[in-house]
Amino acid sequence: MVSKTRLAALGIAALLAVAPLAGCGSSKDEATKQPEPAKSEEPAKTTDEGTKTATDDGAKKLTGDFEIQYFVGGYGDKWWKKVIADFQAANPDLKIKESGGPKINDQMKPRWVGGNPPDFVYIDGPNLNDRQMVEDGQLEDLTDWLKDAKNIDGEKITDILAQPAQEFDGKVFDIPLVLNSWGVFWDKALFQEKGWEEPTDWQSFLAVSDKIKAAGTTPFIHTGKYPYYINGAILYPAIVSANNNDISILQDMAASKVEAFQQPAVLTALKKIVELRDKGFIDKASIQINHTDSQMLFLQHKDAFIPNGLWLPNEMAKDIPGGFSFGFIPSVTQDAGGKVVANTSTANVAIAKNAKNKDAAKAFLQFVFSKAQASQWAELSGAPSNIKGDISASNAPSHVKDAAKYLTDANTVVVPAITFNADVDKAMQDATDALTISKITPEQWVERVVEVAKKAAK
C-alpha cells in the first residue's frame, strides 16, 4: 500500500515536473520544424525542375512555395487579392502564401531578423523603411535584373515606370508600385456653395483662407500626432519651390547632408508654416489629434483644407457625406505663376535577399508591372499606379484622374520618392510640431535637425 502511494506520488511528481518540459520541447520541435531544410530547399529544387520542363513559350514553369508580405492600409487589399488570384491562375503549380494585414510589418519582423523572410515584400505602412532594410542587407540587389527586365506583355519595366526606382549608392533594391502624391484637399461642392475660389498657389491659398476664416470656418487642419503629413504636403514642396524647383535639396536632406538643411530655402519654407500659424489658420485641435480625427473634422466641414495623400478618399470611404467632392492640388506653397510641386509618396515592392523562391518573386514583379494591373490598381485601391498610362477612360475616381493629370503635366515638378534617415525624419516631425505651437522658431528648427543630421551622417 505504502509502495503504491509512493509510486503514485512519484508518478504525479514526475508528470508535473515533466509536463512543462514536454510542452517546451514540443513547441521547440515545432519551431525548429518550421524552416526545416527539406521544406526550404523545396522551392529551389522544384524551380530547377521547372527550368528543365520549360513551357513552349520559353517561360519558366513556377513551382514550390511563394510567400508575399503586404501591408493593408488606406489602399485596402482588394487589389492584392485580385492580383494574387490572377498570378495563381497563371501559375497553378505554385503554392502562394499571403501574409497580409494592417499589423503585418510588426508580425513579420522576427522572420526577417531570423533570416527566414517572405519571398516578396510590399514596403508600405509603419515600421518598414526601405532605406533601413537596404542598410540591414535584407533586400535583393535588383540593379542588373531591372536593366533588361520585361513585363508579361514584353515591355521593358523601366520604360513604363512613371517614377524610377530610388537608388541607394547607385543600386536599386526596390521598385515603386504605387505612385501617390502628397497634397492639399478640399470639398469642391462646399467651395462652390460658399463662393470660395479653389487655390492654385500660396497667395490664392492665403486669400481664400482669409475668406474662410471670416465665414467662421477654420481654414486648415492637420494631424499633429503624425506630423509627417504636414511635412510631406506643405513643408517639402515649399522647400523645393523656394529652391527654384530644384529637387536635389530634398535628396541631399535624405542623404543627411548637413549643409542641405542650412540652405535659405528651408527657412523660407518654414516661415510659410509660421505664416499659417500666425494668421490663425491652423486649427488648434491639430496638435493633439491623429490622422483619422483630423480627416473626420475635415469631412464634417469643421475645417476647409487638409494636407494628406491620395489614399484619403479610399481610407474614409465609409464616412464621406453625400455630395462631398474632393478637390486636390499637390502643393499650395508655390508663388503665383510658379510650378506645382508634387511630392510623391511611393509604396515599393522588393525581393528579400534571403528569399527561397526568387524566380517566382521576379516573375511576380513582371506580372504586377503591367498596364492591365496598373488600371486595376487605380480602380480597386483608389490611387494611381506607378505605371505610365492613360487612366482617363478607366473607372478610377475623379481625384485620382486629377492627380494623374498633375503628375504627368510638364508644368509640375515631380519629386521622386525620398526616404529620410529615420532619426532625421523624426527630428523634423517633432520640430515642425513644435513650430506650429510656437515652441520654437524656424532657426531653432534648423539647429535641431542639423544636430541630428550630423549624428546620422557619421
Instruction: State whether the Cα torsion 389-390-394-400 is positive or negative.
Output: positive
Are 235 and 442 in contact by the 8 Å Cβ rule? The answer is no
Cβ-count burial of 218 within 10 angstroms (0-12 exposed, 13-18 middle, 19+ buried)? buried
Question: What string marks each residue from 404 to 433 as x (binds other proteins by CB under 8 A) or -?
Answer: ------------------xx--x---xx-x
Minimal CA–CA distance to 180: which of 292, 343, 422? 343
Find the shortest distance in angstroms from Cβ 168 to other proteins: 15
Find the shortest distance in angstroms from Cβ 434 to other proteins: 4
Residue 163, helix vs strand vs coil: coil
Nearer to other proteins, 158 or 444 (CB): 444
Rounded to whole angstroms, the Cα distance separating 195 from 173 reads 49
Give, as ranges, the residues between 6 and 45 that touch other proteins (CB under 8 A): 6, 9-10, 12-13, 16-17, 19-21, 24
When asked if residue 457 is in the footprint of other proteins (CB under 8 A), the reply is no
Question: What string marks each residue from 76 to 115 as x (binds other proteins by CB under 8 A) or -?
Answer: ------------------------------x--x--xx-x
Rounded to whole angstroms, the Cα distance separating 162 from 88 reads 27
Residue 47, helix vs strand vs coil: helix
Give, as ranges, the residues between 157 and 196 that touch other proteins (CB under 8 A): none
Q: Which of 152, 285, 320, 372 binds other proteins (CB under 8 A)?
A: 285
Find the shortest distance in angstroms from Cβ 302 to other proteins: 6
Nearer to other proteins, 302 or 371 (CB): 302
Number of shown-chain residues binding other proteins (CB under 8 A): 49
Query: HSE-up of 424 (CA within 13 Å, CB side)?
Result: 25
**Residue 326 CB partners (closer than 8 Å, separation 6+):** 185, 186, 187, 188, 312, 313, 397, 398, 399
Find the shortest distance in angstroms from Cβ 283 to other proteins: 7
Q: Which stretch binds other proteins (CB under 8 A): 43-51, 83-91, 247-255, 277-285?
A: 277-285
Find the shortest distance in angstroms from Cβ 402 to other proteins: 29
Based on its alpha-carbon atoms, the radius of gyration of the chain, rounded to whole angstroms, reads: 26
Q: Secondary structure of 69-122 in the HEC alphabet?
A: EEECCCCCCHHHHHHHHHHHHHCCCEEEEEEEECCHHHHHHHHHHCCCCCCEEE
16-23, Cβ contacts within 8 angstroms, sequence gap of 24 or more: none
Nearer to other proteins, 10 or 317 (CB): 10
Give, as ranges, the residues between 287 and 316 that touch other proteins (CB under 8 A): 287-290, 293, 297, 302
Cell of 94: 505554385
Question: What string marks each residue from 211 to 230 as x (binds other proteins by CB under 8 A) or -?
Answer: -------------xxx----
DSSP 369-401: SSHHHHHHHHHHHSS-BSB----TTSS--HHHH
Rounded to whole angstroms, the Cα distance separating 401 from 390 reads 9
Question: What string marks each residue from 119 to 158 as x (binds other proteins by CB under 8 A) or -?
Answer: -------xx-x--xx-xxxx--------------------
Nearer to other proteins, 224 or 309 (CB): 224
Nearer to other proteins, 27 or 192 (CB): 27
Are 352 and 358 in contact by the 8 Å Cβ rule? The answer is no
Are 381 and 366 in contact by the 8 Å Cβ rule? The answer is no
Q: Which stretch binds other proteins (CB under 8 A): 68-76, 86-94, 280-288, 379-387?
A: 280-288
Are 68 and 99 in contact by the 8 Å Cβ rule? The answer is yes
Find the shortest distance in angstroms from Cβ 73 to other proteins: 16
Nearer to other proteins, 6 or 405 (CB): 6
When asked if residue 274 is in the footprint of other proteins (CB under 8 A), the reply is no
Q: How far is CA 444 from the centre of its chain?
A: 29
Residue 316, helix vs strand vs coil: coil
**Which residues are at the interface with other proteins (CB under 8 A)?**
6, 9-10, 12-13, 16-17, 19-21, 24, 106, 109, 112-113, 115, 126-127, 129, 132-133, 135-138, 224-226, 283-290, 293, 297, 302, 422-423, 426, 430-431, 433-434, 437-439
